[in-house]
């Protein structure tokens, strides 16, 4: 019964979000240069005294914190449904500084060789969750149900399944020092060092999760009960200030990994 209610919530949110997205096109016709700032830290709206194995921190990133109305509304919607989570947001430069200050010079050097932002973000999300724990969600993804009801207090990790029954990286939840994350990080380091893979999906993206994890041995959640993408926003709103556009375009014209 609960899943039926969540699916209904998902459908209602999708309809409303697409109406909002349509209105955002009109807004930016009249205000083409107007941008909104996503804060680096947003304190939880309500405290939850129940102890949770996975820290109540939602991590997000983007190439800029100055975003269109559609992206900002998407962020605000997640702020509401993650009401008992802190939200921490990093831009490209902050991701790099975080890794440099926390991890070994070897890991930072490997990370610095990545030339495509999406691949950097793939690697960063695993590193930040391994070190700090919490929940990672893509900036264009939105929750369909309260986050604390999805990431229950007794879970130590949670991965999101797609309709193809494989893993996605746009939602990952984990405690710190998770051995599965460590295996993923080590695999990415090998991929960077060998530099033979020619697509982000396999080098740093969902291919890593599908390589390391056994879907029958880890805690999973179905995306329709968790979060969705592309309803409040789309590539136009996300990459309006990025001439090279989405990472799929950059991947066609440049190497993912800088040669040594």
Tell me the CATH number at 68.
3.90.550
Write the CB contacts of 212 (distance below 8 Å, at least 6 apart in sequence).
180, 183, 184, 187
CB-CB neighbours of 166 under 10 Å: 13
pLDDT at residue 222, rounded to an integer? 96
pLDDT at residue 247, rounded to an integer? 59
Task: Determine, yes or no, domain membership for 157.
Answer: yes
pLDDT at residue 207, rounded to an integer? 96
Task: Determine, yes or no, domain membership for 260.
Answer: no
Q: Following DSSP, what letter does each residue of 139-163 receive, concatenated?
A: TTEEESS-HHHHS-TT-SEEEEE-T
pLDDT at residue 255, rounded to an integer? 82
Please say whether the beta carbons of 75 and 237 come within 8 A: no
Task: Determine, yes or no, domain membership for 44.
Answer: yes
Task: Determine, yes or no, domain membership for 214.
Answer: yes
Task: Determine, yes or no, domain membership for 55.
Answer: yes
pLDDT at residue 245, rounded to an integer? 67
Distance CA(242)–CA(249), nearest Å, equals 11
Q: What is the pTM of this model?
A: 0.95
Task: Determine, yes or no, domain membership for 259.
Answer: no
Task: Determine, yes or no, domain membership for 258.
Answer: no
pLDDT, averaged in runs of 10, over the chain (260 residues) = 91 97 97 98 93 97 97 98 98 98 97 94 98 98 97 97 94 98 98 92 95 96 95 95 71 74
Which domain, by its residues, includes 218? 2-253
Which neighbouring-strand residues pair with 141? Answer: 229
Distance CA(148)–CA(85), nearest Å, equals 8
């Amino acid at each position: 019964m609960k899943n039926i209610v969540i699916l209904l919530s998902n459908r209602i949110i999708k309809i409303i979000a697409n109406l909002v997205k349509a209105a955002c096109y009109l807004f930016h016709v009249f205000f083409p240069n107007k941008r909104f700032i996503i804060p680096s830290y947003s304190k939880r709206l309500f405290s939850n005294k129940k102890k949770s194995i996975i820290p109540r921190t939602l991590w997000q990133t983007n190439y800029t914190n100055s975003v269109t109305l559609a992206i900002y509304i998407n962020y605000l919607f997640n702020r509401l449904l993650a009401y008992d989570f802190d939200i921490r947001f990093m831009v490209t430069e902050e991701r790099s500084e975080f890794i440099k200050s926390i991890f070994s010079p070897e890991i930072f050097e490997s990370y610095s060789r990545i030339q495509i932002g999406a691949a950097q973000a793939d690697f960063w999300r695993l590193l930040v969750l391994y070190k700090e724990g919490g929940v990672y969600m893509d900036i264009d993804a939105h929750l369909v149900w309260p986050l604390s009801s999805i990431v229950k207090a007794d879970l130590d990790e949670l991965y999101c399944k797609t309709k193809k029954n494989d893993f996605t990286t746009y939602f990952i939840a984990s405690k710190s020092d998770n051995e599965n994350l460590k295996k993923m990080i080590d695999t990415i380091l090998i991929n960077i060092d060998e530099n033979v893979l020619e697509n982000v999906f396999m080098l740093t993206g969902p291919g890593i999760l599908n390589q390391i994890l056994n879907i029958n041995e880890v805690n999973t959640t179905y995306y329709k009960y968790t979060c969705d993408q592309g309803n409040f926003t789309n590539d136009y709103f996300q990459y309006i200030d990025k001439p090279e556009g989405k990472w799929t375009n950059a991947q066609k014209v440049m190497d993912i990994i800088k040669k040594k």
